[in-house]
Amino acid sequence: MILGGGLTGISAALHLELPYLLIEREGRLGGLARTEQRDGHYFDHTGHWLHLRSDDMRNWVLRLLGEQMVEVERRARIYSSGVTTLYPFQANLHGLPAEVVSECLIGFVKTLLDRGRQEPRNFEEYILHHFGDGIAKHFMVPYNHKLWGVHPREITSAWCQRFVPRPNMEQVVAGAVGAGPAQLGYNVKFLYPKQGGIETMAKALAAEVDAESTRLNTTVDGIEAGTRKVLLGGESLAYHAVISSIPLPRLIELIVDAPDAVRQAAGKLRATPVRYLNVGTRRPSPLDHHWVYVPEQRLPFYRVGVFSNAVASLAPAGRSSLYVELSSRTAPEEQVVRESVQGLVEMGVVGSAEDIAFADMRVIDPAYVVFDDAYEAALQVIHPYLEQERIYSRGRYGAWIYNSMEDSLLAGKETAELVNRLAPE
């Protein structure tokens, strides 16, 4: 049984050697790797850029999509202190006000000199430990506060080792004087479909899935782990194994005989939603960037992307398609749209408010898993229990982690291979 038809579920189906039934609550496969259209504009569920590090995954995707994909070199920026600079902030201080550059450099040097400090206990301490108080103050802390919806001191640093670039002293100094390498981080290049948005890729993968083994517009009523049965629309289906990518707390809710300790652990898991705007413009964006990070607390968003700057087909000729990820998660929609438009004009993303043809609000919930102090202990209770019942909870929300699309595809493949090796009972 495969619960959830996002990238993890699709990948699991395509790598299983056993008969399977894939259950998806929506009317099509793909999960959040989905694209919607309005008036010739294409919008993914915020930025879905495909970063492939694994040769196996790259070869697999290219074998299926081939000429449909294009490789793009990242153009990312930071907007802070009223100016736009290169990404990542910590290696590209050049262009910021002199006092900000000085504060950031002095703070970074102090971290190199002070090697007697304790290891960081939370993400805020991790930032201070590795980057210093200047970089923490001017970018790292305010940006991550806006993104996660909670202060970095409430988050452990477990998630960030791969995703937060850590430049050395030479790179920081060179970046401060404009001579540094701007391209650091895991997402320097990405693949993307030439037409139709990221769902073009999801559709190509989904087309390989056996339609006879797929049920769309279907939800699971419950799971009896003790008897290894899935309850589905009045049916009781025995399972050899379950591969699930539905949100982990929801999965535990579905298990009718889950132990109290497991339910209590699941109750401690936290995630924040993301509200974002799909913005269509009447004229091209003056910027040539793909996305911009915004730590400024006074602005209601933390990241702005221009889909059509990466792939021109995502907007009609002479227009642009934008996504605006909002740090304001409770303010009224009308207020957020008004303030966002003002911010986009200030940053030069659009020339004027009149350039905006529409701004549609969307919500992803859950979006970002909160790696708080209860996180590790909760998972150490939940996952062993599930796996003893042959329930493998994988993918971004199944495993309850922070990951990329490639990670989800790999998780489906690896879990299918594990299930292929399981002895029948």
Average pLDDT over residues 214-232: 97
**Which class for 11: exposed (0-12), middle (13-18), buried (19 or more C-beta within 10 A)?**
buried
Which pLDDT belongs to residue 185?
59
- Residue 268 · residue 378 · CB < 8 Å: yes
Average pLDDT over residues 311-337: 96
Angle between helices 98-113 and 169-176 (to 10 degrees): 170
Same fold, 2-29+209-269+374-421 and 94-176: no
Rounded CA-CA distance 277/327 in Å is 11
- Residue 151 · residue 124 · CB < 8 Å: yes
Average pLDDT over residues 301-324: 97
User: Is 90 exceeded by the pLDDT of residue 314?
Assistant: yes
pLDDT digits (tens, 9 = 90+) for 66-102: 889 999 999 999 999 999 999 999 999 999 999 999 9
**Which class for 231: exposed (0-12), middle (13-18), buried (19 or more C-beta within 10 A)?**
middle
The pLDDT-based confidence of 181 (bands split at 50, 70, 90) is low
Average pLDDT over residues 11-37: 97
Residue range 35-74+187-199+271-370 forms a domain whose CATH class is alpha beta
Which is higher by pLDDT, 390 or 187? 390
Which pLDDT belongs to residue 208?
95
pLDDT digits (tens, 9 = 90+) for 350-370: 999 999 999 999 999 999 999
Which pLDDT belongs to residue 184?
65
The pLDDT-based confidence of 187 (bands split at 50, 70, 90) is low
Rounded CA-CA distance 307/320 in Å is 8
Which pLDDT belongs to residue 165?
75
CATH architecture label of 2-29+209-269+374-421: 3-Layer(bba) Sandwich (3.50)
Average pLDDT over residues 102-111: 95
Which pLDDT belongs to residue 115?
66
User: Is 80 exceeded by the pLDDT of residue 297?
Assistant: yes
Which pLDDT belongs to residue 420?
96
Average pLDDT over residues 397-416: 95
The pLDDT-based confidence of 167 (bands split at 50, 70, 90) is confident
Domain boundaries, given as residue ranges, for the chain: 2-29+209-269+374-421, 35-74+187-199+271-370, 94-176
CATH code for the part of the protein at 94-176: 1.10.3110
Classify the phi-psi angles of 95: left when phi > 0, otherwise alpha if psi is within -120 to 50, otherwise beta: left
Q: 130-144, 148-162, 405-419: which range is least confident on average?
A: 148-162
Average pLDDT over residues 20-38: 97
